[in-house]
Structure formats: C-alpha cells, structure tokens
Amino acid sequence: MSDRSEREPSESDRPESDRPASDQSPSERPVTVTDVEDAQERLAGVVHRTPLDTSRTFAELSGAASVGLKLENVQRTGSFKIRGAYNAMSQLSGEEQERGVVTASAGNHAQGVALAGDLLDIDATVVVPEITPAAKIAATRGYGAEVVVEGDIYERSYEYARERASETGETFVHPFDDESVVAGQGTVGLELLDQYPDLDAVFVAIGGGGLISGIGTAVKAQDPDVRVVGVQPEGAFHAKPSLDAGEIRELDDVDTVADGIADTRMLETTFSVAREVVDDVVRVTDREIATAVTLLAERAKTVAESAAAAPLAGLLSAKTDVAGDDVGVVVSGGNVDLTEHGELCRTGLHELGRYADARLALDRWPATLADVVDAIESQGAELDHVNRACPGGGDRPNRTPVAVGVEGSGADHLRGVLADLASLDGVSVVEHSLE
C-alpha cells in the first residue's frame, strides 16, 4: 500500500492542455488491462454481470446519440465495490486470511469486504464514519462483519483503521488505493465495452479514484479514443486540480450530499493510473445530483444513491460536448435510506420546477382546509403533504398557518395552483418556493 503524501492546499483549475505530461507506458502502470482481465476470471460466478439500460430520455436531454446506464446498483451488495474487495481478498496468503482483514469505508466498500469475507471465510472488521447511512451499516453487519463507527469523515475512519491494522496484524484492505482493488473495479469497464461496443465516452464518479482508474484502464486498452470523464461534487472537488497540477492535491474538508464519494483526495496508486486514463473531470452541485437521482427514479425506474447519480448529473450539466456520441453512464450503487431518497427526489423536483412548498393562512380552520385540497386536485396537481404550522411573529392571531407541498407538471402549472389557492375565500398564500 502507498503511503499518503503530505497535505497540500487545492488550487484553481487549469486547462487540460496545461497538464504536465507523463512518461509512463501502459505496461509500466501499476494496473494493466491484463490485471483487469485476471480479476474478471477470479470474479466469475461471484459477481453479477450487471445490465446496460439505454435511455432515449437522457440522450435527448444531453444531445448524445445514445446513453447507456451501467446499473451497478443491482450488483451484489448494491454496488460495484464487491468486485475490488473480492479480487484483493482472494489473493491473500493463507496466513493473511487467518489473521483477518480490516478496512475503512463510507458504506459500499464495507459491504463488499463483508461479503467477500463471508464468501472466503475471512474475518472482517469495517470502520465507518459517523455520516454513513444506517442502511449501509445494517447491511454490512448482515454479511457478518464487525462494524466500528469512528470519525466524523472518512479520513478519520481511515486513520483509525490503519492504526488498528498495525496493532493487530490484520490486513488493511484499502477502499481504492490498491492495485488489486482497482483491477477488480475495472471489470465494470470490460463488461461495458462488451455490452456497448460503439462507446465514445463514459462518465464515472470519482471519490478516491479506484473505479474510474479501473474502468479507464479497461476501456483505453481497447480503444484509446474513448473519453473517460470523471464527475465530482463541488464540495469534494479535488481530482481536476490534482490532475492539472500533476501532483496530488488534498482538500481540508468535504461538504456534499454524495457521501459515497466524499473523499478529500486521490492516493498514489489511483492518481498514477488516473492521470493516464482520465480525459476530464467535471464539477456538479448537490442540487444537480438530486435532480439526477430524481430522473433516474422517474425515467429509468432505478434507485440510485447520490454518488451513483453524479455521473448522470455530469452528463446533463452540458459541461462536456457529447453531441452525436454513444455515452456510457456508470450508476455505481443503490444503497440509500428510503427517507433520504425521498428527500433527494423532492429536491430534484424543486430543481425541475415541479414542486412547490407554500405557507397558507386560513380562516375557519379546519373547514377551509377542504377547499384547499379541492382546489389543488381540481388543477390536476398532487398534494404531497399538509401540516398545521407553528405560528410565527408575522402571523395573524385569528388565522391558522398551514404548510403544504404540491407536485405539478411544471412551474407554470404550479403558479396556476397557487393563484387558485390565493383566490379562495378565507385563504391567503403567505409565501411559496416559486418566488
């Protein structure tokens, strides 16, 4: 395993043409396509060959000739991570397997290591940060691993797990910065090429860089002209500054809804590979990610966690020209709490102009509430929620404040609904989110 380099501040982006050149040949890289092909043999019968689902909607929205969604959210454990974890752990010596393994993870790698441990009869301990969704922790324990919650972000969990490994003799299985892990993740790329032979570009989320390094290694070996585009949230945007500078840059902190890619940096192995196989990295907002989560649920009928929706957000951001291209989008996982998924979809609907929150003031509570419901339904809109709100300093004492959430077909439709509500006798629209 590579030691982590000293922390450095991030810097502003530089054009891709200004990136320092590398003199690595493909055979000198820490991970080669042969490594990926060997991993594919080890994983035969262990992982699913996940489907590729084409989407005319996303092609039209992006201007691409076609868009194919590589659905790793239906992989075993709900994400691609089992590929790298199993490939690495299956190559441990008998003595290493006997001592057990420990890792740090925001959730999906945890489940991959846990399942691999179960399949290979290796004791596994997983250290997770406090931000890890409860569903991922429960699933990890369900596969038989011991789970230790330590640290507010992944980096703190990582440090704790490395210290534990040095004390106990357990083997540390890195979530991304390991040649065997990268090679295992690269099998996603081999499958994608087989399913989508005319591929022109592929969009992949970047956290620590293991997935994009593996996929890039696989696709570039077959066709160097395929563009490999990384996507990161603006609150964890470290890859492009690093690649442009020709050296690893680390963020002091991260702030993003996409917990699965909330890493502060790439490390030596992934950076060494990524600088050779990644063509560009685009930045997206959390609200763009939420919109992508929403569109995947509505149009592709698939549940994606926020990190897994980031590549689609990158494609739809129009920051990369894909006109006329056949584009792959890796939907890397679907492990998300249902309440969180609902909140993300509500945010996405807001961004699409199809959801409005409104605060009303009603006379004759609760009789007038029936008029409110009838007005919303008569307009063909959906009443998502209605709650009696706590009175505020600006509310009239003789009126009852009520909060409603309404879903419609678009902003104009919702404005019509709000206008109807305002015209009702005994109803005032105090404020709304379309303002």
Q: Does 392 lie in the same domain as 258?
A: no
The C-alpha angle with vertex 256 and arms to 50 and 156, in degrees rounded to 5, equals: 95
Residue at which a domain ends, from 164, 179, 194: 179
Question: Can you tell me the distance from the alpha carbon of 143 to that of 225, in angstroms, rounded to the nearest whole number?
Answer: 40
Tokens for 112? Answer: 């991959």
Rounded (10°) CA dihedral 237, 239, 242, 245: -90
Answer yes or no: are the C-beta atoms of 267 and 208 closer than 8 Å.
Answer: yes
User: Which CATH number does the domain housing residue 389 bear?
Assistant: 3.30.70.60
Q: What integer pLDDT is reported at residue 395 of this predicted model?
A: 80
Q: Does 369 lie in the same domain as 425?
A: yes
Q: What integer pLDDT is reported at residue 259 of this predicted model?
A: 87
In a domain, 5, yes or no: no
Domain that holds residue 306: 24-79+181-347
Q: Does 307 lie in the same domain as 196?
A: yes
pLDDT in single tens digits along all 435 residues of the chain = 333 333 233 333 334 444 555 556 666 789 999 999 999 999 999 999 999 999 999 999 999 999 999 999 999 999 999 999 999 999 999 999 999 999 998 678 999 999 999 999 999 999 998 877 787 788 889 999 999 999 987 778 889 999 999 999 999 999 999 999 999 999 999 999 999 999 999 999 999 999 999 999 999 999 999 999 999 999 999 999 999 999 999 999 999 999 889 889 999 999 999 999 999 999 999 999 999 999 999 999 999 999 999 999 999 999 999 999 999 999 999 998 899 999 999 999 999 999 999 999 999 999 999 999 999 999 999 999 999 998 877 788 889 999 999 999 999 999 999 999 999 999 999 999 986
Beta strand pairing call for 400-407 and 382-388: antiparallel
In a domain, 35, yes or no: yes
Question: Can you tell me the distance from the alpha carbon of 61 to that of 411, in angstroms, rounded to the nearest whole number?
Answer: 19
Q: Which amino acid is at 407?
A: E
Residue at which a domain ends, from 324, 347, 370: 347
Q: Does 218 lie in the same domain as 74?
A: yes
Residue 70, classed as helix, strand or coil, is: strand
Tokens for 217? Answer: 């290694």
Is the whole model's pTM more than 0.75, yes or no? yes
Q: Does 316 lie in the same domain as 232?
A: yes
Q: What integer pLDDT is reported at residue 10 of this predicted model?
A: 32
Q: Does 309 lie in the same domain as 361?
A: no
Task: Identify the CA nearest to 151 among candidates 143, 139, 163, 159.
Answer: 159
Q: What integer pLDDT is reported at residue 404 of this predicted model?
A: 97
Q: Does 141 lie in the same domain as 61?
A: no
Q: Does 100 lie in the same domain as 56?
A: no
Q: DSSP characters for 279-329?
A: -EEEEE-HHHHHHHHHHHHHHS-----HHHHHHHHHHHTT-S--TT-EEEE
Q: Does 188 lie in the same domain as 154?
A: no
Question: Can you tell me the distance from the alpha carbon of 130 to that of 150, in angstroms, rounded to the nearest whole number?
Answer: 7
Question: Is-catalytic flag, 81?
Answer: yes
Strand ranges of the sheet holding 146-149, from the earlier edge strand across to the other edge: 146-149, 124-128, 101-104, 171-172
Instruction: Kindly report the backbone phi and psi dihedral angles of residue 278, in degrees, each rounded to the nearest multiple of 5, phi listed first.
Output: -100, 125
Q: Does 384 lie in the same domain as 331?
A: no
Tokens for 381? Answer: 């809109």
Length of the chain: 435
Q: Does 216 lie in the same domain as 287?
A: yes
Answer yes or no: are the C-beta atoms of 127 and 157 closer than 8 Å.
Answer: yes
Q: What integer pLDDT is reported at residue 27 of this predicted model?
A: 61
Structural domain count, the chain: 3
Question: Can you tell me the distance from the alpha carbon of 225 to that of 200, in angstroms, rounded to the nearest whole number?
Answer: 7
Active-site residue (options: 55, 105, 272, 332): 332
In a domain, 102, yes or no: yes
In a domain, 43, yes or no: yes
Q: Which residues on adjacent β-strands are paired with residue 71?
A: 331
Answer yes or no: are the C-beta atoms of 217 and 273 closer than 8 Å.
Answer: yes
Q: Kindly report whether the peptide bond that precedes residue 366 is cis, defined as omega within 30 degrees of 0.
A: yes
Q: What integer pLDDT is reported at residue 65 of this predicted model?
A: 98
Question: Is-catalytic flag, 332?
Answer: yes
Instruction: Kindly report the backbone phi and psi dihedral angles of residue 106, in degrees, each rounded to the nearest multiple of 5, phi listed first.
Output: -80, 0
Active-site residue (options: 70, 81, 136, 220): 81
